[in-house]
A = this chain, B = another copy of it.
């Protein structure tokens, strides 16, 4: 699992870290390319809260099952993909990182990770 996270982070220009975490905000595994400005533990808790809120809203509007969420700010871009009912993967990128490749790779590797987690 760590190896897959490593591959994702080192293959995507501008990627800072990849984390597998639960909706309770607890990280299962992570790989970071360098020491970044972000507090990864706080980030995990906050983004898991955001995903839970999105899930709730999607239920209300019957918009289907959540698959992928991306949040871009003036500083950073975070791409998240649902792995199963309990876990998701988050890829943290610089704002000008290769978003397209990040999306592609996260989608590709999610299948592998989901199988590994079964």
Mark A residues whose CB is within 8 Å of B.
38-39, 42-43, 46-47, 49-50, 53-54, 57-58, 60-61, 63-76, 78, 95, 100
Contact residues in B for A57 (Cβ distance below 8 Å): 46-47, 49-50
Q: Is A42 within 8 A of B70, CB to CB?
A: no
| Copies of this protein chain in the complex | 2
Interface SS, A side: mixed
Contact residues in B for A43 (Cβ distance below 8 Å): 61, 63
Q: Is A71 within 8 A of B42, CB to CB?
A: no
Q: Is B50 within 8 A of A54, CB to CB?
A: yes
Contact residues in B for A95 (Cβ distance below 8 Å): 64
Q: Is B46 within 8 A of A61, CB to CB?
A: yes
